[in-house]
Amino acid sequence: MTDRVITLLIVDDHPVVRDGLRGMFASDPGFDVLGEAAGGVEGVELALRLDPDVVLMDLRMPAGSGVEAIAELTRLGARSKVLVLTTYDTDSDTIPAIEAGATGYLLKDAPREDLFAAVRAAAEGRTVLSPAVASRLVSAVRRPAVPAGEALSAREREVLGLVAKGTSNREIARELFISEATVKTHLTHLYGKLGVKDRAAAVAVAYDRGILG
């Protein structure tokens, strides 16, 4: 079914990783790496120009987030399938990436055979997930109501960030040019969303989910 050569685009901010992937795929005549990009923005441009079968996409990059790049490609109706290849597997990364339109999600510590197989699968439009990611996803989907956690609003994240720095409500109010009452409202709301009952726990959950630090 995959007799054709599969064309690839590599998007990763680490030269070492780009080289590793390039070399890896160069050793197999079934793959052809068309190009590389170091950031999301550049990745989108190249994906549109080169029209690869599969885009190998890192998520956390200085020059344009991977999730945004995926969303952009999806929005533009690009033909390329996106296979996320990252070090991290936190909820805050995986779910948005899948939602944005990623065809697969692999962790970088996957053996190369798995990687090859995943790229072939992705080229055919099949979804491929690392076992760890898959189990995360099901558990995340299984409790969509209260326990999990809706996304924080921009303002709530802003307040939470200051809380993590030890800023008091009054100081936060001054900092953001709002009243202390509003700060408390934001806090009460984000406590509910994060499923906690005080600021210390909120900071902890935020770190766990990658919202902070």
Binding site for DNA (CB under 7 A): 150-151, 153-156, 168-170, 173, 176, 178-182, 184-189, 191, 197-199
What is the distance between the alpha carbons of residues 188 and 199, in angstroms, rounded to a whole number? 10
What is the distance between the alpha carbons of residues 149 and 207, in angstroms, rounded to a whole number? 14
Give the contact letters, 74-113, x = binds to a copy of itself (CB under 8 A), - = no: -----------x-x--------------------xxxxx-
- Residue 109 tokens read as 């510590």
| Residue 151 found at the interface with a copy of itself (CB under 8 A) | no
> Residue 115 or residue 211: which is nearer to DNA going by CB?
211
Q: What DSSP line would sit under 35-51, residue for residue?
A: EEESSHHHHHHHHHHH-
Give the contact letters, 183-202, x = binds to a copy of itself (CB under 8 A), - = no: -------------xxxxxxx
- Pick the closest to residue 204 from 59, 191, 182 (CA basis): 191
109, interface contact from DNA, a copy of itself, none, CB < 5-8 Å by kind: a copy of itself
Q: Binding a copy of itself by CB under 8 A: which of 115, 121, 123, 190?
A: 115
Element (H, E) at 11: strand 6-11
| Residue 3 found at the interface with a copy of itself (CB under 8 A) | no
Burial 138-149 (b: 16+ CB within 10 A, else e): eeeeeeeeeebb
- Residue 64 tokens read as 């344009």
Residue 9 bridge partners (DSSP)? 35, 55
| Residue 163 found at the interface with a copy of itself (CB under 8 A) | yes
> Residue 74 or residue 193: which is nearer to a copy of itself going by CB?
193
CA-based R_g, the chain, Å: 20
> Residue 76 or residue 181: which is nearer to DNA going by CB?
181
What is the distance between the alpha carbons of residues 150 and 43, in angstroms, rounded to a whole number? 29
207, interface contact from a copy of itself, DNA, none, CB < 5-8 Å by kind: a copy of itself
| Residue 23 found at the interface with a copy of itself (CB under 8 A) | yes
| Residue 166 found at the interface with a copy of itself (CB under 8 A) | yes
